């Protein structure tokens, strides 16, 4: 693959992560409030919720059911992304974990500049 295409795919993944991070942050805030009010046993605060596949395909709309705390642990490493099995691109990432519903990949490098919009790629992860 070309360096330009690789960079586009890496940027796409960073953009695809944004809504997932927002979801994760909301659940973390709810867990914090519940703990402050001594209600840390509220059901559903860490139930699996749908997260978007964070693959490089700008047209991918697949979801991954995952607990928010699991999502948070995976993303402590900024180069880690959750994607559906079969959506990995070996030229830009390596698989670090495999699960039935998802795999975790780690980027070989991060986007060189702030990612702002999705780029067209030749990937089709239907």
The mean pLDDT values, 10 residues at a time, for the chain of 126 residues are: 66 76 83 79 76 89 93 91 94 94 88 54 60
Residue 124 located in a structural domain: no
Residue 114 located in a structural domain: no
Residue 121 located in a structural domain: no
Task: Give pLDDT, residue 118.
Answer: 46
What is the extent of the structural domain holding 79?
Answer: 3-39+47-107
Domain tally, the chain: 1
Q: State how far the Cα of 53 lies from the Cα of 120, in Å rounded to an integer.
A: 17
The C-alpha angle 17, 21, 26, rounded to 5 degrees, equals 155
Task: Give pLDDT, residue 84.
Answer: 96
**Are 52 and 16 in contact, with CB atoms under 8 Å apart?**
yes
Compute the CA torsion angle 35, 40, 45, 48 (nearest 10 deg). 130
Residue 118 located in a structural domain: no
Residue 117 located in a structural domain: no
Residue 55 located in a structural domain: yes
């Amino acid at each position: 693959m070309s360096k330009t295409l690789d960079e586009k795919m890496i940027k796409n993944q960073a953009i695809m992560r944004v809504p997932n991070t927002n979801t994760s942050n909301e659940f973390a805030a709810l867990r914090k409030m519940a703990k402050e009010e001594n209600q840390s046993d509220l059901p559903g605060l860490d139930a699996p919720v749908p997260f978007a596949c964070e693959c490089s395909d700008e047209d991918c709309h697949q979801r991954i059911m995952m607990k928010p705390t699991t999502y948070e642990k995976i993303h402590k490493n900024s180069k880690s992304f959750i994607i559906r099995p079969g959506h990995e691109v070996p030229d830009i990432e390596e698989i670090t974990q495999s699960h039935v519903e998802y795999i975790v990949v780690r980027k070989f490098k991060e986007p060189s500049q702030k990612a702002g919009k999705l780029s067209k790629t030749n990937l089709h992860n239907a």
